[in-house]
A and B are shown apart, each in its own frame.
Chain A
Amino acid sequence: MADTLLFLTELIGMRVFDLKGRRIGRVRDAGLLPRVDKVRIDQFLVGGEWNWWSVRHDQVGTISLDGISLRDEQLVPYHDDVWMLRMARDLLDQQIIDAKGRKVVRVNDVTFDLKRVNGHDELHVLEVDVGMRSIFRRLCQGVVPPRAVRRMMSGIAPNSIRWEFCNIIEPDPQRRLRLKIDMKALESIHPADLADIVEELSHEGREAVFESLDSEVAAETLSEVDDTKTQAAILESLDADRAADIVEEMSPDEAADVLAEMEEASSEAILGEMEAAEKTDVEELLEFDENSAGGLMNSEFIAVPDTGTVADAIRVIRENEEQVDSLTNVFLVDGAGRLSAALPVGRLFLVDPTALLKPLAGEDEVVAVPVTERRKRVEELVDKYNLMSLPVVDEAGVLVGVVTADDVISMLRQD
């Protein structure tokens, strides 16, 4: 096992020999061209006396702990290549996101797989090392001979992340394109975990992540970020149209909360870029005081005429499928839109589709609050009546929104 692996700390500083076995320099860095091959080291940067040479992977003969022997001496001086990911410069000591472990880590070292391909040795990136073992190895680099270091290290457990789970954080969008950094792997992480990750990054890092993520995922993640101030700061760092894409995917009450936290100019700019429908929803909510029921409520809810049947209710639900995951109640309204009853969605399963909704909802008077109701009272009612969602009505009794239990929990935790 030991002989088919090589570490970046061992590679850097390794001697490079020409065809006659004379030393021509030391390895200064290694470069990957993600657009060509995701794992194979494409070029070795070798430091001569005055300048660096670029050694292509197929110009290398053998690689071992004693050095690299070339099999082709036609070397080209190194020019900075924006398509290249350099191991020592761009990866070492930088923060990356571990998609599998769902956290932010700092790269201590990189492990390569040493393969023999077409008669020459190649290095393929295998994993990124974090943790004690790699720290120890880095500290001993250059001071203790590599083989001795390997022997000493065998007692400490390794702590590595496979290359395919590593996500590099690159602030420059052009370079992200060139290095094929797309953050797709992050989209499979639960938004709450992704929000934790984002909170650990620097301003640039957050911007990079939110620029690359799919809008829907970005919206879910943004709503899970703890502090509204941070949410606002993230949105402000993005272009107005990108921010608008994300805000459109958020639920209107959360969008209103974040926009309210931002400076006027920035929130106006974002609202300006939004689609008309979502924009109106959010603007309506922005009218309300943030500590009132109107400011807490979500304007998305399922309302069905109280004269309807279960089949009608199911149809309306299907038309609003984006609300399904958090649906707890279906609200019955009269002809004028006034709230008449709240129907727990589970009851829809108990009867035939032809059954009427009104009797199913029962006789209990529905608990509702006016838009101007104070936050404390909202919290009390949700607790007292064990509500998962509390309907909010305007002066005429028309249903305008819903305060959900998870919003109440978040508020209570902040106190």
Chain B
Amino acid sequence: MRLAERLPRPLVIFFTVIGPGFITAMVDNDAGGIYTYSQAGALFGYMLLWTLPPIALLLVVTQEMNARMGAVTGKGLSDLIREEFGLRTTFALMTLLVVANLTNVMANFAGVASALELFRVSRYVSVPIAAVAVWFLVVKGTYHSVEKIFLFACVTYIAYIIAAVLINPDWEASALASVRPVVRWDPVYLTMLVGLVGTSVAPWMQFYLQAAVVEKGVTVKEYAESRIEVIVGCIVMVVVAFFIIVACAAAIWQKGPREIASASEAAEALRPFGEYAYLLFCAGLLNASLFAASILPLSTAYSVCEGLGFESGVNKRFREAPVFYWLYTGLIVIGGAVVLIPGFPLVRMILLSQVVNGVLLPLVLVFMLRLVNNANLMHEWRNPRFYNVVAWVAVFVLIAMTVVLVGSSVRGMFVSATSVASSQ
């Protein structure tokens, strides 16, 4: 309250509008997001822009379902899954979630490493410092004050919008590409597709958003305002994604399509800013990575502990909530340590982590759909038919893509094995 009296009015409004939906959407653009969108633009130009409207739709639908479930039941997603589907199912899902989230934590520390490597800071310095800083920030309870700083720093995404405009891309081509679906059957393209969905609609976000809505104490009465805030957040996120892809398409793909292998190549997209390009990119990436690295391990630990019935909470002593603290610390330590392995392909792993998200997503969606359509649970707030259609179509498409992806990778390995054999 005191802070509000000191800030200028526009900022006050900005902070009051911020709610769980908006925050989730901003954190969604973590290191994985930035690199995946950049890669999509650099490698395929405008070709993948058509995925954004369907992704936006899916994002809005899933986020809204989570916010609704949180407001109506007052329980988190893992609590609901535990109560409706039992311990074994919850345990299996939590294991998969921890694995997927661990890869995302890795991706974010990799983001920190690659951002600071732009300025010749060794990853062996940046990552441990970041890990320790994040750990203390959250455990000492000062996270909330810093959250405002993170959110405010998200304003750096505007740099992409400005860069995209300054580069003068082919607006007509990008507009056309946004509505013309292109499907290529090669593994690289499909991987990119799954990664794009995975980074926009990450499973960990579903758990985080519902828990944030519950913690905020949103009830059915206030839900209508929350819903608007959720939708606004999703739209903002997709708009930023659009401009990242366009900026990279114009700056990199135009010159010759290639994979992004390092932060310096990704920063090319901000070239119109001249010598500030690298600085802006580093700032944006660093902010996004630290923001996500603060939220992700914590959210995972909370989800798992709630689902399995362990004590949780940063306000508890280590002795009182051992599983929670071990899990939280473990995610940060392992996430950071893996990144420090010599020769670790930073960008490749970041992209892979988003593909893992995309593979796990259909499973989480299925659970969510079963829950949100349960009349006992949701009373008159069950899903309208439109939502169910969108979500189920997404589930099937994602599963199909994953199967094809795995199939073609296996076939690739098989083919190369037989060709090696036959050449003997």
Contact = CB atoms under 8 A, between A and B. Distances in A.
A60 B82 CA distance: 32
Contacts of A103: 311
B74 A203 contact: yes
B91 A204 contact: no
Nearest to B86: A93
A105 B309 contact: yes
- Chain B interface: which size bin? 10 to 19
Contacts of A204: 73-74
B419 to A, nearest CB: 42
Interface stretch (A226-234, A334-342, A358-366): A226-234
A135 interface: yes
A105 B79 CA distance: 12
Contact of B87 (A135, A201, A227): A135
B1 interface: yes
B217 interface: yes
Interface string B1-14: 11000000000000
B305 to A, nearest CB: 10
A202 B309 contact: no
B217 A202 contact: no
B75 A230 contact: no
Interface string A369-383: 000000000000000
Find the residue from B2, B87, B88 having the highest chain A CB count within 10 A: B87
A204 B74 CA distance: 8
A143 to B, nearest CB: 10
Interface string B86-106: 111001000000000000000
B2 A202 contact: no
A106 B73 contact: no
B1 A415 contact: yes
B28 to A, nearest CB: 27
A92 B79 CA distance: 13
Given A203-B73, A415-B2, A108 B219 contact: no
A204 B79 CA distance: 14
B87 A93 contact: yes
Interface in B362-421: none
B170 interface: no
B82 to A, nearest CB: 6
Contacts, number: 48
Is the contact region of chain A dominated by helix, strand, or loop, or is it mixed? mixed
Nearest to B311: A103
A414 B1 CA distance: 9
Q: State the majority secondary structure of interface residues on B.
A: helix
B142 to A, nearest CB: 15
A201 B214 CA distance: 10
Nearest to B80: A202
A202 B75 contact: yes
Contacts of B308: 135
A202 B87 contact: no
A202 B82 CA distance: 14
Contacts of B75: 202
A130 B217 contact: no
B219 A139 contact: no
A130 B79 CA distance: 15
B217 A230 contact: yes
Given A93-B87, A135-B91, A204-B74, A106 B217 contact: no
Contact of B217 (A138, A201, A227): A227
B82 A93 contact: yes
A94 B82 CA distance: 8
A106 B74 contact: no
Contacts of A94: 83
Interface string A109-148: 0000000000000000000001100010011010000000
Contacts of B79: 95, 202
A263 B221 CA distance: 10
Contacts of B73: 202-204
A202 B88 CA distance: 23
A131 B87 CA distance: 12
Given A105-B309, A135-B91, A138-B88, A203 B219 contact: yes
Given A135-B308, A202-B74, A108 B217 contact: no
Contacts of B217: 227, 229-230, 233
Given A108-B87, A139-B87, A130 B219 contact: no
Interface string B34-78: 000000000000000000000000000000000000000111000
Given A93-B87, A95-B79, A108-B309, 12 more contacts: A93-B82, A93-B83, A94-B83, A105-B309, A108-B87, A135-B309, A139-B87, A139-B88, A204-B74, A205-B74, A233-B219, A263-B221
6 contacts: A130-B309, A201-B74, A203-B74, A204-B73, A227-B217, A415-B1
What 7 A-B pairs are tightest by C-beta distance, nearest first?
Answer: A106-B309, A203-B74, A202-B74, A202-B75, A138-B87, A233-B219, A230-B217
